Structure formats: C-alpha cells, structure tokens
Structure 1
Amino acid sequence: MAIKVTKLTKTYNVNTDFPVDALKLVDLSIDQGEFVAVMGPSGSGKTTLLNMLGGLDTPTQGEVKIDSLVISGLSEKEKIKFRRDQVGFIFQDYSLLPVLTALENVEFIMQLQGITEKESNARASKLLERVGLGDHVHKRPSQLSGGQQQRVAVARALAPNPKFVMADEPTANLDAKSTSDLLDIMQQLNESEGTTFIFSTHDPRVIARAARVIVIDDGAVSEDKLNPEYRPHLSSMVG
C-alpha cells in the first residue's frame, strides 16, 4: 500500500458562522503503480484531496500516510522536501517558468535536489525526447502550443523520479488530439516506470482511460470502482 488516508477532513472557515467542509472523514487507500481518476463536479473536494495527498495543504482532522510517513504531521520544511523528492505535480495552467526553455524548466527541480548540471541536463533531454519534444528543448513556453506545454509539465513532474504524480485537471485546456496524446504518454509512463498517477478531473476522456475511478461528492467518497473498460497501452511513445 502506498497511500492510506484515514478520516481526512478539511474545513475552511469562510467566516465564523458558516465553516465549509471541503472534505468529510474520507477513508481511502491507493496502491503503488495505480492509474486513478478522482472525479466530481466543481467544488466537490477533489482538488482539495489531491492537495492533501501531495502535501500542499494540511488537514483539519485525520491523517495522510504514504508508506510509513505521516505527511499530514510534517513541518513545513519537511513538506517542502517531501514534495521536492517524492511528488510530481501537473496543473491545468501548465505553471511553466516563462523565461526558461523547455529543457531548463525540466532541469530546474533537479537543480533544487542538488543534481549536477551534466546529469540534470541528460535526464531532462531524455524525458523531453520521451514525451515527443526532442526537437523543442530550447523553445520557451510562449513558443509552444498548449499540448506541448503540458508535455513539458509532464516531463518536469517526472524529472525527480517521484513515486507519485498528482495531476489537477491536466487536460482542461487541451483539444481532443492533445488530450489523447498526453494520456497515451502518461499511461505508458505509468506502465513502464510504475509511477502512480492520480488525476483530479471531470473530463470523461481522462475517466475513460483510468484503471480506477473514485467519485467525490460534497466532500465524501460516494463511489470507488475499477474501470471495466480499462486497457493497457504499451504501444510506442507518441511523437
């Protein structure tokens, strides 16, 4: 078991009279190597759940345990190290640094880890090649399409060899072809590398590709099921 969530609750005190429970006593387990979609309407709590799993936010109550590490109890400094070394993040707005090239964006997290310039350059180049951007390594985000920018974001998320990739609405700004290509890439990386992918989404294209679907409704898990339509995708990488 990689992730175990116990009675996870997050309450936002919008004002003292009307606190809002974004998550309510959620119990959940996710194994290493799973390809999971967390779905639900806007405001259901799915993004809050991903933020808790990735150590971006702290629960009001309950526990997030990854392997033997209780991340919900870490200090802020310890959480920064955990996020840097264990988790890759993919956001719907890409969140690339505009002044850096694709290669430099992917290298950046490895430099924070203290990896040598030679090693980080080689790994970043290899990752960009794997996501079909070998000919675009020296372009800045403004010179890339939305689909290409999201591929850079995938490469960046994988750069520190994370155990988990948390993807928050990663296809929200992409057309059908870019979405299909991106999901091909992530599914193949999941199968070849054993990296756990957890998506927050309401995109039916993502949900159809997931091996497991968790439904969040009003801050609670209302459904948790395997996807009978899931098929492995071990074809060659999309170029």
Structure 2
Amino acid sequence: MTIKVRKLTKIYNPNTDFPVDALKKVDLSIEQGEFVAVMGPSGSGKTTLLNMLGGLDTPTKGEVKIDDLVITSLSEKEKIQFRRDQVGFIFQDYSLLPVLTALENVEFIMQLQGATASESRARASKLLERVGLGSHLHKRPSQLSGGQQQRVAVARALAPNPKFVMADEPTANLDAKSTADLLDIMQQLNESEGTTFIFSTHDPRVISRAARVIVIDDGAVTEDSLNPDYRPHLIPMAE
C-alpha cells in the first residue's frame, strides 16, 4: 500500500488574526515497508503531518490517499474504522491504560476489532514475547520502566496487523539503551513483517537508523533523501 500526499495544507485558527500555517502544500509518497523519519524542529509541522497520515486530523486543503482510498474524505465513523484496522500509533507518553496489565493493553485493540478472547490473548502474548516482555505480561504500566512501557506500546500498535505504524517522538522519554533496544525491535519488525514505520522525531538516534529521512521546516518539506548509512538489522528478536 502506498501513501500519497498531495498539496496537503493545514491552517489552525484560519478565521482569526493569528492563523497558523502548520503545513504548506506538502507532496509526498511513502511506499509499503519503508522505515521513515520525519525530522524538524518543534513547531515545524512534523506531528501535524503524522496526524494527517494516520487520519487523526483533517487538512484545510489537499488529500491523503492510500492506494485508492482518500482518507481525508472519509466520514468520522469511517476514519475510526480506518485507524482501528490499518494504522498503529506509538506516542511519546506511551498512552497505556493504567488499570490494565501489559497483556490487557495489547488485547484491547483486537477486541475492538471483534477478535475472540482466545485469539486476542494468544496474539498479545506472542507480541509481548517478541518485544522481550514475556515475563511481564501481568504487570500494570506503573510496574514497568519507561522503556518497557514503550515496548508494550509497540506491541499494541502491531496487534491489529496494521499496514502503517505512526510513531510520534517515541524515544523522547527514553535513555540511550532503551532507545537502542526499542529501535532494534521496530527495525526488526519492519523487516520481518513489512510494516511501514513513520517517525516524527528530532532525535538523532532515530534519524541515524531510518532508511529515509524527510526534513520539514515551517510547514514545508525542505529535504527528502535516502540514508546512505542505513543498514538492515540482522540481530534476531527474542522468541
């Protein structure tokens, strides 16, 4: 599946004396299976772009098209279904439900899709084992470190078999080792599952690991290039 962005424009507060041009006629294409970092300073528009790609926000003008589906023209109900079935989200604050265990947090999205309890539990357990949390299934977020919580968030994002994962500053609250471990996991999943990963980041640790780097500044794409130093990650994941 290919994401095609055409003349994507987002203006906040358009009818006031202080409109904010968050995106300015952005054109992009992202192919299935890419591992992409969207970088830029705070306020550059990178998070707004990810929200548009994931159907979380609506543009002022332009469109986001995935194959033949124009997601920017969907109704709110259709967008909810699109996000549920096609997109996984990873946020810098983890956004886990504090009253649920790691296993329950990952199961939850599959139950929304209509999976049976046994199906959702089996897949959630497998995903948590793959991200190295097989011994922490029944711990709540407060009992996990920041790096472990973000691993739960990765497993949750992948639970519904999404075509795309949107990761908004996923390493912002992590130390160097947790960041490296998390990037290892996501790169391995990208290569083994063919899931597209799109990061919003200004973290050089993430940027150096991306296969493609898109630079956005003041709402416009100023650079789009392949990373010549990108190397496939060959370390096997924990089974």
Question: Take 1:147 and 1:168, find their aligned partners in 2: how far apart are those partners?
Answer: 15
Q: CA deviation at 1:2?
A: 0.9
The sequence identity of aligned pairs, in percent, is: 89
Give the count of matched residue pairs.
239
Question: Take 2:14 and 2:201, find their aligned partners in 1: how far apart are those partners?
Answer: 25
Q: For residue 133 of structure 1, what is the aligned residue in structure 2?
A: 133
Question: Take 2:89 and 2:139, find their aligned partners in 1: how far apart are those partners?
Answer: 21
Q: CA deviation at 1:234?
A: 2.1
Look up the SS of the partner of 1:209 in the other structure: coil
Question: Take 1:197 and 1:175, find their aligned partners in 2: how far apart are those partners?
Answer: 21
Q: Which runs of 4+ in 1 moved over 6 A?
A: none
Q: Contact conserved, 1:191 with 1:234, CA < 8 A, in 2?
A: no
Question: Take 2:47 and 2:238, find their aligned partners in 1: how far apart are those partners?
Answer: 28
Question: Take 2:216 and 2:238, find their aligned partners in 1: how far apart are those partners?
Answer: 32
Q: For residue 187 of structure 2, what is the aligned residue in structure 1?
A: 187
Q: For residue 48 of structure 1, what is the aligned residue in structure 2?
A: 48
Q: For residue 145 of structure 1, what is the aligned residue in structure 2?
A: 145
TM-score of the two chains, using structure 1 as the length reference: 0.99
Structure 2 gaps, min length 5 = none
Give per-residue Cα distances to partners, 1:139-170, cap 9 Å, x unaligned: 00000000000000000000000000000000
Q: Contact conserved, 1:58 with 1:72, CA < 8 A, in 2?
A: yes
Q: CA deviation at 1:237?
A: 1.5
Question: Take 1:10 and 1:149, find their aligned partners in 2: how far apart are those partners?
Answer: 32
Give per-residue Cα distances to partners, 1:5-42, cap 9 Å, x unaligned: 00000000176112111000000000000000000000
Alignment of 1:97 onto 2:97: yes
Q: For residue 5 of structure 1, what is the aligned residue in structure 2?
A: 5
Larger mean CA deviation between 8-17 and 83-92 belongs to: 8-17
Cα-Cα RMSD = 1.0
Map of 1:216-231 to 2, 5 A cutoff? 216-231=216-231
Look up the SS of the partner of 1:26 in the other structure: strand
Q: CA deviation at 1:220?
A: 0.2
